[in-house]
Amino acid sequence: MAIYNYLLIILLLLLGFGLRLYQLDGASLWYDELLELDIAQGALTDIGPQLWRHAAMPLDYYLLHGWVMLGRQEGWVRLPAVCWGVLSIALVYSLGRRLFNQQVGLLAGLLLSFAPFAVRYSREVRPYALLLCFTLIAFLGLWQVYQTGRLRYWLLTGLGLSGAVLSHYFALFLLAPMGLWVAAHWLRHLNRLIYWRHTACFALIGLVLTLLVIAHGRLLVLYSVSYQYGQALIQPTQLTRSATEKPNRGAGPPLSLEFIAESGLAPLSGESRAGQVILWGLFSLAVIAVGGQRMVGSLNAARPQKQISKEQRAVWLLLSWVILPAALIYLFLLHRGTFFAGRYILYVLPAFFLLVAAGLNHLTTAVISLILRLSPPKFTSAAPRRPIWLSTGLIYSGLILPLGLVQATSLLAYYTADPYEDWRTVGELLNRHARPEDAIIAPQAEPAINWYYPEAAAPLGAFLDNDTLRETIMAHPRRWFVLSSYSYRRDERLRTWLVEQGAVRLVIDRRIVVYYHRPGLTAPQLLAEVQQFELPAKPMTHLFLGDQFSSHGDYKTGRAFYQRAVDLAPTAEQRASYQTRLAVLPAAGKP
């Protein structure tokens, strides 16, 4: 039986690894990933001082610093997140086995291995997969402390919490469910010295976390933010202040149950209504039936009422893990006036899946119990129990298979969705045609260019100052302007000026446009120069170049670019749209 379980665990890990590795380098690194990589690729001593601008903690940045020295390919720099995600599958299995049993551990590992929410953030150069991994280590240690009574497991808890806090500030909210767990045991056993020692160990871990924050140089900021947040929790009316009165000058997430259900809970259970019904139904079953006074339908109905079972304690620990951090994060963002993102609550996903798995395991146990009670004595003592195994198989296949199909559909949609902005293509264009003496101007996108075109090294926000921008333009005879959705509201005047100057517009995608400009050259001359470039194989690039050639009367070249856009169009609808524009273009024009 042990070999069978080991084989299942290996298969789970291989499944999780394969889903996270699939087309890992298929898409360009996107903006948030590049923000982190731009810092990580710099000098080791420069990492810490830059993190305050990103409101980030340093662990993932330091780990990436050494990793990127071995390679810069998209798949390579994303691989650490893949490894943390796969390790989390093994950890959630281990935790589920200790909280409940082997079956719950395997089911939770299976759910985590192919959950789109977990897969996505195990494929990005961000600290969330690392945070998830250390969170599991912390709770595994905490459970073992109180299950075995051994103080050495506090080292595991401290390691997990320290790693989590060094990965992301929101890990501090994990202290709420853990502190509640520690306090409940302490208050229940005030006359036992061992629980005083456990409480002291937890307090010591809190001191270590404080020292880590001090070492990071963020103690005063953290104290100020925590004090303001505490005041808001004491006086909830502060949460509903206008955006201009909030610290970050934003409205924050909507204060509504609809938003909480759709944006707060949906990331855990997925967007499919069928999947949500199954997962939240099993979750509720675990909380109500397993976390209640006794397991409904249990064969062991004679258990004393006052005794709290291991399964009941596990359910209440997991429930606090799911609810408290997520609620505190939501209220914090509402207080600060900052948007809510599902990735912020990724680290409660294992607790959610463990409760779902516990609910499914309880449902199966209850059905088997019912069959045994209704069966004649001859059946229960000697006859083969095929109906039991058949019922178990029907329950698992009736719930797991639909969930698998729902998750597979969601994963397919994730794999085939339109990618984020294509900074890789921008980098390829610059590497082919930009010269060392050229000006590379990318307002609010400096980190993206720094990674894909390191010669353009500039700090984030370098070109938000008009004087700096003007001086850079005047100092270089050739200029490349990379304007994106991250600077669109600010650079409208710059775009207007570039059009007036006759700069050539190279549209990369819906979010990024590269303008090429040389003073002293007319628009047709610049277009003739760009025509010799090795252009990206993107339909929008050729379509808008066709527009520009045609606007200057060079219909022959314009038609050639339109035709190339038709050939590159990924869908029949786009091809038809481009062919319509091609059909109305005059056949002749400037040579």
Residue 303 has a pLDDT of 46
pLDDT tens for each residue of 399-417: 778 888 888 888 988 998 8
Over the chain, what is the mean pLDDT? 89
pLDDT score of 590 more than 70: no
For 67-93, write each residue's pLDDT tens digit.
Answer: 999 999 999 999 999 999 999 999 999
- 3-state DSSP: the chain helix, strand, coil percent, rounded to 5? 70, 5, 25
pLDDT over 70 for what percent of the chain? 92
**Buried-state track 22-51, b at ≥16 Cβ within 10 A, e below 16:** eebeebbbbbbbbbbbbbbbeeeeebeebb
294 token code pair? 């006794």
pLDDT tens, position by position, 368-385: 777 767 766 655 554 445
Which pLDDT does position 382 carry in this prediction? 46
- DSSP summary character for residue 167: T
Position 294 scores a pLDDT of: 47
pLDDT confidence of residue 418: 83
Asked whether the predicted pLDDT for residue 300 surpasses 50, the reply is no
Closest CA to 130 of 165, 167, 92: 167
The reported pLDDT for the residue numbered 313 is 94
Contact indicator for 227, 234 with CB cutoff of 8 Å: no
As a whole number of angstroms, the distance between CA 220 and CA 223 comes to 5
Report the percent of the chain where pLDDT is more than 90: 67
Q: In the predicted model, what is the mean pLDDT of residues 272-295? A: 83
Name the DSSP class of 287: I
Reported as a single tens digit per residue, the pLDDT across 336-371 is 999 999 999 999 999 999 999 999 988 888 877 777
The band of 298, judged by pLDDT with boundaries at 50, 70 and 90, is: very low
Whether the predicted pLDDT of 305 surpasses 70: no
Pairing of strands 512-517, 479-484: antiparallel
Residues in the chain: 591
